[in-house]
Chain A
Amino acid sequence: MSDHSDFMREAATFAENVRRELRSLPAETVADLTDGLEADIASSLSDGATLPTVSEYARDLMRGAGLEVPDETSAVVSWRMKAEVVIIKCVEKLSQATKGLAPAWWFLRAWVVTQFLGGIISDTDSTRPLIGQWGEMPIVGVVTLGVSIVMSVRWGRRAVNKRQLLRVVSTSVLCLATIPLLLWEPTQVEQSHGYWSNNAPETCLILDVPSVVGITFGEAKRALQRLEIPYVVFDQDAMVDIGDAPDEYEVLQQDAQPGPTTFCGERSVQLVVDLSQAPATTVPTDLGATTTIPITATTTTVKPKATTTTTP
C-alpha cells in the first residue's frame, strides 16, 4: 500500500504535467489555476481516486475556470489542413519545376509500362518457351514500346479521350495476348536415345557423353553417332569449325565433359582434333578406356635404295 509520500510524489508529477499541458496560457494564469493543486491531487489519490489523463484534467480545469478550451478535434483538423496545403504547394512547385521534362516523363512512363507488361507475360517455364520475356520476342517488345510511347505522349498532351484510350488499350492487350499463342508450337523430343531424367525439363535431353579424348577422331565420331549426339569439329587452334577431319587424327579435347550432360536446343559436343601432329592408329578396347597407339610406333623404315633421287 502506498504511503503519503508516494501520493505526494505522484501528485507533484501529475501537477507538473498539467502545468505543461496548460503552457499555451499566460504563466500567471497557469500559476493561479494550479496553485495548491499538488495537495488536492494528493488528497484525491489518498482517497483511492483514479486520475483522468493529464489532457482531460487540464481541459476540465480550464472549463471550470471559464477559459476557452481549444477544441481538440478542430485543432487536429486544422493541422491536417495546413499539412495538406503544404503538400499541395510542394507538388505544384515540383510540377512547375519539372514541366520542361514532360517529354522525358512520357517516354519513361512508356518504357515502364513496356517492362511491366513484359514482366507479366514473361514466364521462365520452358514448356512455354515462346511466351517468355521480351528478350525472346524482341519484335513484340519493340511494338509494345512503340504503342506505349504513342499512347503516353497523346495522353500527356491530353489528345486522347477516355473512350479512345480504352479502345486502344483493349486492342493492344488483345493483340499482345494473341501473338504468343500464334508463335507457340510444342517442341518435339525424340526419346529413342539416351534417357529422360524425371527432374529434367521437358524439352531438354540428358545424354551420357562418352570420353573421346585421346582416341582417333574416327572412333570418337562413331561413338557419338552411335548415341546420336551431335558434334562439331575444330582444329588444334580451336578457332574454326572445320566440319570434318580425317579419321586417324587424335582428339585433343572435348566439351561437353564425359558423363551425364543436359542437351537443350542446338547444343552439341565440341571436339578439338590435332591436325598438326602425325595421325595415330587406335586399338579400341572400350569407350571408357581407349588405348591409343601412335602410328609412328609401327612405322617401317624405308631402305635408302628405294628412295628416288631427282637431280636437276
Chain B
Amino acid sequence: MADQSDRRIDRSQLLKGVLDLATLAVLAEEDGYGYDVVRRLRHHGLTDVAEASVYGTLRRLFSLGLLTSYVVPSEEGPHRKYYGMTAAGHEWLSDQRFQWNEFRDVIDSIANTSIKGESHE
C-alpha cells in the first residue's frame, strides 16, 4: 500500500513548467527584487519554491529580454537588484496565460472524467 508521500503529486516537477509564468505574473503586479518575488510566490501558495530556482529564473528571463533590471543602492548593505516587466514580457505573459488556461482545462477535463462517470451512474 502506498504511503502518504507516494500519493502526493510531485509539485516540484509541476512547478518546473510554470515557474516562468508564475514569476512573470507576480512581477506584472509590481517590480521587485529576488527575495521579494520569492516571498510573493509563497504568499500565493507556492510555499515549497526554492529561492535559488527563482533567482535563476529571474536571470534567465532577463537574458531573454522579458525583464528589465535596475539596481537600488542600500545604506545598510549591498545593493538590491530589482526586476520589472518589459513589453515583450507582458506579451509573453499574456501568451503563457492563454496556454496555461488551455492546458489546465484539458487536464481538468481528463482528471474529472471519472467523477462525471460516477455522477451519471
Contacts and interface: CB of A to CB of B under 8 A. Distances in A.
A43 B35 contact: yes
A42 B53 contact: no
B52 A39 contact: no
Contacts of A239: none
A34 B27 CA distance: 20
A52 B74 contact: no
Given A44-B35, A44-B51, A52-B50, A39 B56 contact: no
A63 interface: yes
A61 B77 contact: no
B34 A64 contact: no
B59 A32 contact: yes
A271 B87 CA distance: 122
B77 A65 contact: no
A34 B89 CA distance: 22
Highest count of chain B CB atoms <10 Å: which of A38, A44, A64, A67: A64
A288 interface: no
Contacts of A8: 76-78
A59 B53 CA distance: 8
A43 B54 CA distance: 14
Given A40-B34, A40-B35, A64 B79 contact: no
A257 B48 CA distance: 92
Contacts of B71: 36
A60 B81 contact: no
Contacts of B74: 39
Interface in B65-103: 71, 74, 76-81
Given A44-B38, A64-B57, A65-B60, A58 B78 contact: no
B77 A66 contact: no
Given A40-B34, A44-B51, A64-B19, A33 B77 contact: no
9 cross-chain pairs, A with B, having the tightest CB-CB distances, nearest first: A64-B56, A36-B81, A60-B52, A65-B56, A40-B34, A64-B53, A43-B35, A40-B35, A61-B52
